[in-house]
Structure 1
Amino acid sequence: MNTKSLVAVLLAVFGLVLISNSLFIIKETERAVMLRFGEVVRPDIEPGLHVKIPFVNSVRVFDGRVLTVDARPERYLTLEKKAVVVDSFAKWKVSDVAKYYTATSGDENRAQALLAQRINNGLRNEVAVRTLHEVVSGQRDELMLSLTNSLNEVANAELGVEVVDVRVKQIDLPPAVSESVFLRMNAEREKEARELRSQGSELAEGIRASADREVTILKAGAYRDAELIRGDGDAEAASIYSTAFNQDSEFYSFTRSLRAYQDAFRSKGDIILVEPDSDFFKYLKNPGGAN
């Protein structure tokens, strides 16, 4: 390769390097600033293809999408001086690229740390003027809206970012307070359970007594009815016996004696001591029954 060819190759390479350092592309999801020896000369470069002076200008590109900063849970005091632990997060994006670069040197982690600090300060101020009930449920949405507006003003003025939204993930009581609250709630539930058991026992005793009384009344009524029926049956049986006896008293006495003999001599081991001339043997001596 001769000298002219080598020079041509070197010039071509230099030209490619010069062109590659002169052109840059900014995407739709990015924000960028152009610097000249560290000084901002173009604060907000639009998306597209752009040209810069090689080795003089430099471009810093930042994420232009909505980002999330997850603040560390912090302990705050309410208006009644009750401690709560609030875990929150915020949505933010770069609004003023030049100010953002000046305040954070373009470091996203530094921006999130500064923003998290301001979120904690804002939450502390908002929680301090509200009661525990208002923080937890009553004015929670109002608290978030107020915090977003105030934080957006500060963040935009100091960091060049826009706070889109601030939300609370959870609100807890400190461990010591949670334990005491749990014990108090447990004691209240046990007291309520004892009252309910006492009321249940009282109702059960009343129901049991009523059932026992009803059973006694039913048994007494049934016994009365049974005795009346039994009495009527006995009276009717006596009447039938009397009628039959009056029709043939001798035959009635004979059948009664036979039944008595059958019952008396049912077992061979039975011994009966009676006088021979007793009326018991009247029909054995004389089947006619005459004395």
Structure 2
Amino acid sequence: MRKTAIILPALFVGAIVALSSLYVVDEREKALVLQFGQIKAVKEEPGLAFKIPIIQEVVKYDDRILSLDTDVIEVTPSDDRRLVVDAFARYRISDVVKFRQAVGVGGVRAAEDRLSSILNAQIREVLGADQVTSDTILSSDRGSLMLRIRDNARVSARSLGLDVVDVRLKQTNLPDQNLDATFARMRAEREREAADEIARGNEAAQRVRATADRTVVETLSEAEREAQVTRGEADAERNRVFAEAFGADPEFFAFYRSLQAYQKALKGNNSSMVMTPDSQFFNYLKSDAPEAGGN
């Protein structure tokens, strides 16, 4: 009975010691075995591992790709137009030993603070370099700029045991105080372009109207000329016919011309004529055998 009382506590203590010497590393983690703050072992493969109970402790770090949003900063490109830049990075802990030595007990939080400073410095350096304007940053060329920021940040982050996988510029905007001025400038440019277009349209319209007016005048002049020619030819033909008729029968021609004169003189319903009694105008109406020529 006394022996059992001794064995059971010993077994219990032994079980506790055995369990405390075991630890499990997940496939998403890397682990360091520390003894009095010093690194004694590195466990990067997933599975079950052992450590010295009480004396040693295990610190685990995430082995996945992590995300970091940087603070919003202002940069000044070579054209002196300030821009507000908001970026984010993807990184992973590539060397846990170097990572532990660099950040100590601060862990990921301390590492991200230092990485954020590195990223902001590289963003200012790359976007503020010569030949880099605000138009370049806002264009499709920003992809090459992000690659330069990533590569430069990757070199600096190696001392922290980190590998910068990617860097992206989320937003690139003008500061609030510059937005109104920029909007006013853009509106003035658009109004100027609209005025130029209106002026060019009016000029084109005037050219079209002038061409149309000239065409009308030319068409009317040509038509009037052709009409005059036609009337002249018709008058000539009429005179020729009259001349032939007069030559063929002078008495009939005189009679015909008298009838034309009667028609014109007595035109209308209330015609009045004042003449002398011996007037020869109505000779063909009052004489049975008038002489040729009205005599």
Identity across matched positions, percent: 36
Tell me, yes or no, if the aligned pair for 2:22 and 2:48 is still in contact at 8 Å: no
TM-score, normalised to structure 2's length?
A: 0.70
Cα pair 2:69 2:87 within 8 Å, conserved: yes
Q: What is aligned with 1:50?
A: 49
Unaligned runs of 5+ in 1: none
Q: State the one-letter code of the partner of 2:73.
A: E
Mapped pair 1:153 → 2:150: no
Which amino acid in 1 is paired with 2:249? D
TM-score, scaled relative to structure 1 = 0.71
Distance change (3 Å), C-alpha of 1:201 and 1:139: closer
Aligned residue for 1:87? 86
1:223 aligns with 2:211: no
Match of 2:243 in 1: 242
**Corresponding residue for 1:120?**
120
Q: Deviations over 1:176-197 (max 9, x none)?
A: 3344344445445544554565
Task: Give SS of 1:43's match.
Answer: strand
1:30 aligns with 2:36: no
The CA distance in 2 between the partners of 1:60 and 1:263, in whole Å, is 132
Q: 1:266 to 1:127 in 2, by over 3 A?
A: closer
Give the match's secondary structure for 1:62.
Answer: strand
Query: Does the 8 A contact of 2:75 with 2:85 survive in 1?
Result: yes
Name the Cα RMSD after superposition: 4.2
Unaligned runs of 5+ in 2: none
Deviations 1:253-290 (A, max 9, x none): 444444555566665x4132344654443333246545
Once the two structures are TM-superposed, the CA of residue 227 in structure 1 deviates from its matched residue by 1.3
SS state at 2:282 partner: helix
CA–CA distance in structure 1, aligned partners of residues 244 and 76 of structure 2: 107
Report the Cα distance in structure 1 between the residues aligned to 2:141 and 2:266, rounded to whole angstroms: 104
**Secondary structure at 1:168 match in 2:** strand
1:1-291 to 2 correspondences below 5 Å: 22=22, 24-27=24-27, 29-35=28-34, 40-52=39-51, 59-78=58-77, 82-101=81-100, 103=103, 105=105, 108=108, 111-133=111-133, 136=137, 143-157=145-159, 159-191=160-192, 194=195, 197-198=198-199, 201-202=202-203, 205=206, 208-209=209-210, 211-259=212-260, 261=262, 267=268, 269-275=269-275, 277-286=278-287, 288-289=289-290
Q: Distance in 1 between matches of 2:17 and 2:243?
A: 146
